[in-house]
Structure 1
Amino acid sequence: MSDSVQIQVADSHLYPGCAVHIAHLPEPAREAEAIVEFADGSGAHATCHRRTFDELELTVDGYATRRRHPVDARQWLLLAVDSTHNSWRVKRRLP
């Protein structure tokens, strides 16, 4: 999976307002596999695709935090917070 997108989250789970770092984005209108690394050392598989230039849709598979708290699979909308598109914030959970 060397071609997967690496996503680093500033907490043990995603929520609105949570900071996210993405070094290399997928091509627009193309879905990409991703590895999500949470701050507590846990991780999850995911898929992502860019909706618009500044919006990213992220679907994270279910996982367990480092303290073994189960987190269900969820879908999130992220917004870019800088012009380099390396820093993002979770805007909201998608249905």
Structure 2
Amino acid sequence: MSKARHIPIRQCIACRERRPKRELLRIVLTEAGPILDPTGRKPGRGAYVCPDKPECWAEKKLRRFAGARARELSQALQIVLGRVDSQASQVGKPST
């Protein structure tokens, strides 16, 4: 008779959706700034974000966790997860 394994559930800080821990990306706040922790093992205060929902990477939604460093965290998420929004890609292009 096999026992069912416990699956840890965590909540995204942006959309408040509850999902299994493995489906979310952990972020750790340090004195140097926020660090992305894909392993989930770094020490420090951590929070979770949905890696597949770009709306969860918005600066405004990350303020609950990161405070003044929310912009830095939002930009890092967009770069690391490979989905830079259209505004950032148009920086430096002349407007018509």
Q: TM-score, normalised by structure 2?
A: 0.29
Query: Which structure carries more helix by proportion?
Result: 2
Q: Larger relative contact order (C-alpha < 8 A, sep ≥ 6)?
A: 1
Q: Bigger radius of gyration, 1 or 2?
A: 2
Q: TM-score, normalised by structure 1?
A: 0.29
Query: Which structure carries more strand by proportion?
Result: 1
